[in-house]
Amino acid sequence: MKKKKKVNAAILIIGNEILSGRTKDKNIAFISNWLNLNCGITVLEVRIIPDVEKTIVETVKILSKKFDYVFTTGGIGPTHDDITAQSIAKAFKVKYEYQKEAYKILERYYGKKFFNEGRKKMSKMPKNSKLIYNPSSAAPGFMIKNVLSLPGVPSILNSMIENCKPYLVKGSKIYSKTLNVFTVESTISKELDSLQRKFLKTVDIGSYPFFRLGKVGVSIVTRSTSIKQLSKVRKDLIKIAKSKKIKILKL
């Protein structure tokens, strides 16, 4: 049997609050497990550094050359000490600027009246970055070269992690599809349980709550090595949504 390509990654946790002990990190275990189980990617190194531009720049340079992928968490929010995006731009010697699609997403989410400078800042990132969509609080993460930058808040990061998949070369191919619906998990929990039992051997079904556009919703994530099986599950999910008159969110 031909050996599958080995793919590795590093995790870079950025934030003074982690180093001070004020905040306990929950992202390392989550990202490591997700990469290993869902993507066949092995995490070989983890670093925790402060919100210091020079340190971020130097560390990103080192890790991006050493590993296939680098996942950063923290420092992409609206405040003055959120400097991850501009530091990564400096590391790769590209402009730090407003990303048009990210700007539109945030402007639509907050509304022009409440779209202040701090919120606009969350749409600034290294030039030519690809967006990592955020179903929880709208503000996207980004990817440039082999660096994927995510927020530090665990619940938001968890809801976004599936949107990293399109950018990753996996060690073992597992396909994934997501259906976002405006409802609460308890409304569809029974149906999802039945659907999981039906496709127990071929498809893994997960549900992840989010809050967007002033409404509560659920991202239904399906994973399988078979695209055909995923299509069957998606059709069943759409039928469930329609039968319960649940609105499907189109990104």
* CA within 13 Å, CB half, 16: 6
- Could you give the CA distance from residue 167 to residue 164 in angstroms, rounded to a whole number? 6
Q: What is the mean pLDDT of the chain?
A: 92
In this structure, are residues 205 and 220 in contact, taking their beta carbons and an 8 Å threshold? yes
Measured CA distances, 129 to 18, 105, 111, 125 (Å): 26, 15, 24, 7
Strands 7-14 and 69-73: parallel
Angle between helices 84-91 and 53-66 (to 10 degrees): 60
Q: Which residues are paired to 219 by β-bridges? A: 180, 208
pLDDT tens sequence across 132-162: 999 999 999 999 999 999 999 999 999 999 9
In this structure, are residues 66 and 60 in contact, taking their beta carbons and an 8 Å threshold? no
What does CATH list as the number for 175-249? 3.30.70.600
The share of the chain scoring above pLDDT 70, in percent, equals: 96
Query: What is the number of other CB atoms lying within 10 angstroms of the CB of residue 56?
Result: 24
Check pLDDT > 50 for residue 234. yes
Check pLDDT > 70 for residue 184. yes
Domain ranges, ordered by start, for the chain: 7-167, 175-249
pTM of the predicted protein model: 0.68
Mean pLDDT for 228-247 is: 94
Long-range interactions of 17-22: CB distance < 8 A, separation 24+:
18/48, 18/74, 19/48, 19/49, 19/50
- Could you give the CA distance from residue 149 to residue 131 in angstroms, rounded to a whole number? 10
Ranked by mean pLDDT, which of 169-178, 206-215, 238-247 comes out on top? 238-247
In this structure, is the dihedral angle defined by the CA atoms of residues 89, 24, 62 and 170, taken in order, positive or negative? negative
Quote the CATH superfamily of domain 7-167: MoaB/Mog-like domain (3.40.980.10)
Which three-class secondary structure state does DSSP give residue 82? coil
